[in-house]
């Protein structure tokens, strides 16, 4: 039995690019706005993390770039969320 596959128009375009070999490899580095979208936080928070040294970044001319591996390492370094474990703010 063959299952029916339902794809959105965007999925179809992506699949066509994949089949045609036109899909590019993932970016090696992201600018601050892209990193903020990837992390789900504001670009201001990303700048604070970079300035504070929690998120390593490089400067290329006037651009601040965060390596894909640095984003992954930052997320991996965060404490695990345990439901019901609420920390008091000081």
**Structural domain contains residue 5:** no
In the predicted structure, residue 2 carries a pLDDT above the cut 60 = no
Provide the CATH number for the domain around residue 38: 1.10.1660
pLDDT (tens digit per residue) in 43-55: 999 999 999 999 9
CA angle 38–40–44, rounded 5-degree value: 100
Q: Which residues contact 60 (CB under 8 A, 6 or more apart)?
A: none
pLDDT (tens digit per residue) in 65-86: 999 999 999 999 988 888 886 6
**Structural domain contains residue 2:** no
Residue 31 domain boundaries:
25-77
**Structural domain contains residue 85:** no
**Structural domain contains residue 38:** yes
Cβ atoms 39, 73 nearer than 8 A? no
For the ranges 8-22, 30-44, 75-89, the one whose mean pLDDT is highest = 30-44
Count of domains forming the chain? 1
- Check residue 13 and give its pLDDT: 73
**Structural domain contains residue 89:** no
* DSSP calls for 22-58: -PPPPPSEEEHHHHHHHHTS-HHHHHHHHHTTSS--E
**Structural domain contains residue 37:** yes
**Structural domain contains residue 56:** yes
In the predicted structure, residue 31 carries a pLDDT above the cut 90 = yes
């Amino acid at each position: 039995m063959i299952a029916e596959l339902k794809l959105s128009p965007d999925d179809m375009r992506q699949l066509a690019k994949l089949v045609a070999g036109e899909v590019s490899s993932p970016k090696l580095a992201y600018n601050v706005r892209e990193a903020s979208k990837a992390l789900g936080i504001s670009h201001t928070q990303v700048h604070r993390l970079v300035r504070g040294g929690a998120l390593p970044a490089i400067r290329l001319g006037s651009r601040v770039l965060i390596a894909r591996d640095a984003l992954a390492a930052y997320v991996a370094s965060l404490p695990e969320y345990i439901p019901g474990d609420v920390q008091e703010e000081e």
